[in-house]
Structure 1
Amino acid sequence: MKKRVLSLLLLAAMAASLLVLPAQAAPPANRFYDLGGDAYAQVESLRLMGVMDGFSDGNFRPNGQLTRAQFCKMVVCALNAEDELGLYRTVTVYPDVKPSHWAAAYINMASKGKKAISGFSDGKFYPDRTVTLGQAATILLRVLGYKDENIGGVWPDSYLSFAASIGLTDGVDTTKGNSPLSRRDAAILFNNLLRADVQGDKTVSNFLTAAGLTTKTDMVLVSSNARGPDGKETAMLFSDGSIYQMAGDKASNGSLNGLKGTLVLEGQKVRTFLPDALGISRTVTVAKAEANVITDRSGAKYNVTSGTKVYRNGAETTWSEARSWVNPGTSLTLYLGTAGNVEFIFVGGGDSSTEAVIVYEKNSVKGFDALTGGVGGYTIYKNGCRANAKDMRPYDVATYASSTNTIRVCDTRLTGYYESCTPSPTE
């Protein structure tokens, strides 16, 4: 009994300390508090490449618009061509883009070097005008090697139709080609671009190869804070035990952990990680683990095979071997295919949080951001079921698993907490 009371005291004191955020602390720009799910992972992949980022308030602003200058910078970064910018800093291609303009090198390279974009009939570029969906699709088609004679027809309709035929605009509403491009749609377009084939170049097979990058497919990212060869704890650890240092000073925010996809390398360093089609993932609390079926606490059943891959603590195993330690109450994240079958299973990742936050108010998630270290886009599960702030009740206990970017809430750990202790909460 004494041990239990002591542990409750320590948990309560620890949680109380986690609930307070520094009043002047600015949230990091790589968190994207206003995104979730697939969109969060897509933007994180682009952030690591330097293509897109969030704002200083920690939001991504998906409905915001982009200028033509900003879009040129995104194109150059996606092409992995920043090292060539010096050739274009002091030249003047357009009269309204002087060398002093912040994006002059990007605009000059995108138009003169890569021939992906052009100015208007009056010879000007108008860098601060918003870029339209039609313009964006046309630029990216040119990046992929397509020329006007390959497409023809009426602009922008024919270009948007052609872009749709090769999958470049999958997930984007192409009925408004002259409308400003939103940041959300830009993220979708660039993710499609990174997976696209290149036209007319027999020496390369896809966009990433053309950009001088190499890829490794079917990689499962276990952790984004492994210790790399540089000694920094920002390397990516994969289920096969391989560790790759990040290129430059980038570090992943953890939202890609637990996903299967393509590792993109610049030399032997990580340029980014592209999740496969994310499909459906569900975090469940196991009620029964059988050879071919996993049953969760709600009674839902998920088909699994003996050879289904299971990832735990940085190691890969199979369901037939994992069943021996998957007991009732174990929390699993299941990644489901289109047929509803379990394609692979993620169990923690060796970096689950040992800290906890106690919910003090009804419908409150106060302290959750401190628990995640500022990582946004997380999913909340309470007692194994998908939940949100409205499901929170006083004395619920929350822990965080960075490997799957999920917060697990349980209402059976505590029945109360001490408001005053003698001589002190520490004692």
Structure 2
Amino acid sequence: MRQLSITLSLVALLQNLPAIAQGTETTSGIPSDSIQQVITAKWMTNFSDGKFYPERLLSRAELASIMVKTFRLDKRQAITKENLAIPDVPRSYWAFNDIQIVLKTDIMKGYRGDEFFPNQKVTRAEALAIFAQAYGVFQFPDDAVNEILATHPDEKSIPDWARKAIATVVTEGFINTDAQGNISPLKPVTRGDMAYVLSKYLQRQKQQPETPEVPIIPNSPQSP
């Protein structure tokens, strides 16, 4: 009888394994659910071997492609402009169209001599600022920005040009930090980092009502 009880317990445990796995973290510390959500949304993809590799670093070209997919930048009016001449991004380059789009929409900028440096790795500050640019940077006054960022021990290492954008991401709850709450703005951003930010943004999108409610203004035609 005891043997049967042990067997039934093992069966129950095995049946519950898929549910347990869904809530686990990857070796990079990013929840596996976050990664699966952005893959399902087709904002990011696995590599050809079927693995995501959350610890791998993002290049500027990869980030450009992600921004176009996430925010549907190809639908914005600015892309009707003529293509830009980018010396280090020939038309044959895999991300040529996406890079053209992020430049035309001012979501990303080129460097000296109009070059893009598509293979250059991106810091967390750069990635978060670019994401916020596409999302919409909140125009907080400087005092509010300082107050928002003050809860993070390494906030003094955030570059001045990124502070307002990162304050936006922090306010919206899109950012991942370490156990001490450090933003680590100067570290290279990983695929896992970006998946986390995108998953939080996706969750926010799902929470929005399909038809926004119009507030009733007193003495307006809609007032009862």
Query: Above 0.5 in TM-score?
Result: yes
Query: Which residue is 1:184 aligned to?
Result: 192
Secondary structure (helix, strand or coil) at the match of 2:160 reads coil
Structure 1 or 2, whichever has the larger Rg, is 1
Code of the residue aligned with 2:87 in structure 1: it is P
Secondary structure (helix, strand or coil) at the match of 1:155 reads helix
Structure 1: runs of 5+ lacking an equivalent: 1-33, 197-205, 216-427
Query: Which residue is 2:114 aligned to?
Result: 123
Per-residue displacement from partner, 1:283-325 (whole Å, max 9, x unpaired)?
xxxxxxxxxxxxxxxxxxxxxxxxxxxxxxxxxxxxxxxxxxx
**TM-score, with structure 1 as normaliser:** 0.34
What is the Cα deviation at residue 149 of structure 1?
8.0
Q: Identity of counterpart residues, as a percentage?
A: 22
Cα pair 1:90 1:99 within 8 Å, conserved: no
Code of the residue aligned with 1:178 in structure 2: it is L
Code of the residue aligned with 1:79 in structure 2: it is F
* Higher RCO (CA < 8 A, seq sep 6+): 2
For residues 64-75 of structure 1, the aligned pairs below 5 Å read 64-75=56-67
Code of the residue aligned with 1:100 in structure 2: it is S
Number of equivalenced pairs = 168
Query: Which residue is 1:165 aligned to?
Result: 171
Code of the residue aligned with 1:167 in structure 2: it is G
Code of the residue aligned with 1:164 in structure 2: it is V
Query: Which residue is 1:400 aligned to?
Result: none
Partners of 1:66 and 1:117 lie apart in 2 by 15
Partners of 1:49 and 1:65 lie apart in 2 by 21
Per-residue displacement from partner, 1:126-158 (whole Å, max 9, x unpaired)?
111011111111111111222778778813345
For residues 249-264 of structure 1, the aligned pairs below 5 Å read none
Query: Which residue is 2:216 aligned to?
Result: none
Structure 2: runs of 5+ lacking an equivalent: 1-24, 146-158, 212-224
- CA RMSD across the alignment: 3.7
Richer in helix (by share): 2
Query: Which residue is 1:48 aligned to?
Result: 40
What is the Cα deviation at residue 48 of structure 1?
1.8
Partners of 1:150 and 1:93 lie apart in 2 by 37
Cα pair 1:89 1:99 within 8 Å, conserved: no
Partners of 1:38 and 1:130 lie apart in 2 by 20
Richer in strand (by share): 1
Cα pair 2:121 2:188 within 8 Å, conserved: yes
Per-residue displacement from partner, 1:320-341 (whole Å, max 9, x unpaired)?
xxxxxxxxxxxxxxxxxxxxxx
Matched, 1:141 2:132: yes
What is the Cα deviation at residue 53 of structure 1?
1.8
Secondary structure (helix, strand or coil) at the match of 2:55 reads coil
For residues 262-341 of structure 1, the aligned pairs below 5 Å read none
**Closer/same/farther in 2, CA of residues 207 and 159 from structure 1, 3 Å limit:** farther
What is the Cα deviation at residue 189 of structure 1?
1.1
Cα pair 1:67 1:127 within 8 Å, conserved: yes
